[in-house]
Amino acid sequence: MTDLPEIHGLCPARFGAVKDAFAANFVDAPEGLNELAARFSVTIDGEVAVDLWAGSADVAGRTPFTEKTLVPVFSTGKAVMALMIARCVDKGLLSYEDRVADHWPAFGSAGKDHLTVGQLMSHQSGLPGFDGGVEPEIWFDRQAVLDRLAAQTPLWEPGTASGYHPITIGYLAGELFRLVDGRSMGTALREDFAQPFDLDLWIGLPESEHGRVAQLRKPAAAPDLGPIDPIKKAAFLDRGSAPGGRGSTEWRMAEIPSANLHGTAKDLARMMSIVATSGALDNLLVLSERTLAAATRERIHGQDKVLPYVMSWAAGFTRNTGLNVFGPNPEAVGHCGWGGSMAFADPATGVSAAYVMTRQSPHLIGDPRALRLVEALYAAL
């Protein structure tokens, strides 16, 4: 048991059980994963209904975690990435049925010429990592990554199976976005969403904001990937499978839509409310229902080649079908991130929510602290 820190924020009496669950995660969390700092935020019909935070932003416990504290959410940012690609579809710049090579001819080599945008976004390209030895510094050279992936032969036949792309999907989707929109995805997120809607979300964090970033405690164990094969090694375990060799400043400033979004739980939940409210953000329509339906429908369902789960993938979103980590509705969509963060939207209830934390766990999907909060939330609805 540990001492319970002061809990801040918004929690109407109706959601008292959510606050109780949030508090319990600090003093009696599953698997001993007691929180150091965390935030859990919920919107209902686009309005913030619950917003709780507590703990210390630094491991030493000297700096309070506040409503302005930013947290790196790793793959949870893929849900934002999916919405950014959906915006391109909505504006007529892309179709999920387009071939990627129609917009990026170099990508069409080595058997990838028929891969569609929808297949790319649902992890079917066969490019979960590099097929040979690379140094971790390559990830800081965007063009080198793109050139290597465009020329690479897929690790399985594209379009026949999914295999989660932990980091490469951010470079692939980011380049597709740049080619059709003309801006980087990080720039467009800032100009189209962060600034007009006051969302504290960043793909590529300016150095001026680094002082607001919480320190993380890495998980005590590696995630369980199941039996290891060359595909899983390329995705997660090879020396060059993740960025390295540079300091945290360069990593935060890089634009890696799949891996280094920094933000707050409240604004992740608000961003995901677009899915929960038929395309609206702050009562302004930003995506058509037709595009939302195309972005969130199932693209492939089956045993993933990288994750040890049977997965239902939409166009960039994890679908709740079979996983039951985003509440009881199988049609809910979202994404989880390394260490336990998550964000999701449930159109059936108009709910969106996000959870961020600083003590990371080894769970790839469905951190038990997040599950406790989501269960309490749905019990209160």
As annotated, the active-site residues are 75
At position 266, the amino acid (one-letter code) is K
Q: State the Cα–Cα distance between residues 262 and 209, nearest whole angstrom.
A: 10
CA gap 98, 114 in Å, rounded:
9
Three-state SS letters, 310-355: EEEECCCCEECCCCCCCCCCCCCEEEECCCCCEEEEECCCCEEEEE
What are the structure tokens assigned to 214, written together?
């919480």
